[in-house]
Chain A
Amino acid sequence: MITLDNIHKSFGDNHVLRGVDLHVARGTSMVIIGGSGTGKSIAIKTILGLVTPEKGTITVDGQDVSQTGDRDAFLARFGMLFQGAALFDSLPVWQNVAFRLLRGSLARPKAEAHEIAIEKLRRVGLTPDVADRLPAELSGGMQKRVGLARAIAAEPEIIFFDEPTTGLDPIMAGVINDLIREIVTEMGATTMTITHDMTSVRTIADNVAMLHGGKIRWTGPVADIDAATDPYVDQFIHGRAEGPIETVR
């Protein structure tokens, strides 16, 4: 469904992506792992057009994403949970969740959008009294849940999760991981998740890809990751300081 073919991206002298090749099949959950600054978020952002690659092709259902005529319709297929939730400070929680349902091609009447927002908030374990609060009044975990509710509000076919558990305590991280897995399964969506957290990998992933040195070093089913012979994968999943991945101490 989603294919990245030889994607390159640089920022000045920093060559972040040096030929990324990746395929994500429809209805599967792909998790991309890798160290900080290896370009995992950039890879996802190239698919959405938030970052333009210098070289390579990205296709979704065979269609080149750089040639999408109706951008609104193209983006309506996606939902995304950002690392810091990226909720709009000036809008109450329910309007954040229903943002896409209040404007654009998916616009619904306000009452209906409000109802859907409340339902999605319930789905992520938040009570309706949260709906009229501002994002700044919520804890980090609650903000992530609201971000998750916003990502699924319009029932997209493809959902991206950027570091969904970063900054959360282990219990809340577990709750978010379980929620993502449940939602992905019940919606049948195709998902890509970026994380360093191996607990998230084992909970969320069908398939795993490891990004290092601007390329995909290893990809395969999550069940195979512990048996992977690649020394980079081995070092990463076991969190060892010694190995081919350079660490600064």
Chain B
Amino acid sequence: MSWIAALGRATLGLLAAIGRVAMFFGSAVTHLLRPPFYPRELALALLNIGWLSLPVVGLTAIFTGGALALQIYAGGARFNAEAVVPQIVAIGMVRELGPVLVGLMIAARVTSSIAAEIATMKVTEQIDALVTLSTHPMKYLTVPRVLAATLVVPLLVAVGDVIGIFGGYAVATGTLGFNAAAYIQNTVDFLQTRDITSSLVKGAVFGCIAALMGCYFGMNSGRGAQGVGRATKGSVEAAAVLILAANFVLTGVFFSV
């Protein structure tokens, strides 16, 4: 029964990996709460993850919002499209597409960059150098990045939601001939506080996952250029899958009742 043994090994491997990531996260949390703190590193991470991600988040959101409006109009033209398009664009962007697409763009842009940077630091002994200089790598490298991503990705999601809704508005009013005031009124009337809360909570969780995976894979990178490449690839794959899984769980938590 070699396949049972293989399945058992794979299951144990998966559980061990989950355990290692959980311990890594736990260690990051304990370091977050104990001094010394590195505010300069946090500020740099906020700038890199937040401000410098705005263009890619904005472009992703505006095209998605526009495409969503076109799709819904095409499907909803037979009935009350003027009301349906803004409502579904708003709910689609705020509940799902905004947080998920921003999360995935952050995984592509930030997770890969963090993993490559930390993995390179590891293979060039910069992590060892940090230790010899009495600086804990978890505190100096992981905590600022994870904290910054957890704080700033919800803001990026909020910006993405607004820009996405604007993309739908622009297409609907500019191309499809919708009334601008009615479009805005329908959007505002349909959105609930729970939609916005879920969007921001998802942003925080996705940001945390994206940065955590970058740091974890970077810190555990193998040797040489191949090790850096594997760490980078693995971090983006893990972050993307975990973001989608977390989205499913959070959607269930917020909207299943």
A215 at the interface (CB under 8 A from B): no
B128 near A82 (CB under 8 angstroms)?
Answer: yes
| Shortest beta-carbon distance from B14 to chain A in Å | 22
A88 to B129, CA, bound (A): 9
Residue of B38, B120, B125, B135 touching A82 (CB-CB under 8 A): B125
Q: How many residues of A contact B (CB 8 A)?
A: 25
Given contacts A80-B129, A103-B38, A104-B36, contact A86 B134 (CB under 8 A): no
B contact residues around A100 at 8 Å (CB) = 133-134
Residue numbers in B under 8 Å from A80 (CB-CB)? 129, 132
Select the stretch in A14-22, A70-78, A177-185 that faces chain B.
A70-78
Residues of B within 8 A of A213 (CB): none
Q: Scan B127-139; emit 1 where CB is below 8 A from any A CB, else 0.
A: 0111111110000
Does B197 lie at the interface of the complex (its beta carbon under 8 Å from any beta carbon of A)? no
A237 within 8 A of B: no
In the complex, which residue of chain A has the Cβ closest to the Cβ of B126?
A: A86
- From A50, A75, A88, contact of B134 by CB (8 A): A75
Task: Known contacts A103-B36, A103-B38, A104-B36; decide if A88 and B131 are in contact (CB<8 Å).
Answer: no
The answer, yes or no, to whether A99 is at the interface (CB within 8 Å) is yes
User: Could you tell me how many residues of chain B have their Cβ less than 8 Å away from some Cβ of chain A?
Assistant: 15
Q: Does B11 contact A (CB under 8 A)?
A: no
The answer to whether B36 touches A50 (Cβ under 8 A) is: no
Give the one of B36, B133, B134 with max A CB within 10 A. B133
Nearest CB in chain A to that of B131: its residue: A50
Please tell me if the beta carbons of A104 and B134 are within 8 angstroms of each other in the complex.
yes
B126/A88 in contact, CB under 8 A: yes
Instruction: Write out, one digit per residue, whether chain A residues 57-94 have a CB within 8 A of any chain B CB (1) or not (0).
Output: 00000000000000110011011101110111100000
Contact with A along B115-129 (1 / 0, CB 8 A): 000001100111011
A247 at the interface (CB under 8 A from B): no
Decide if A26 is an interface residue (CB 8 Å cutoff).
no
Could you write out 6 A-B pairs with CB less than 8 Å apart? A48-B131, A50-B131, A86-B125, A87-B126, A103-B135, A104-B134
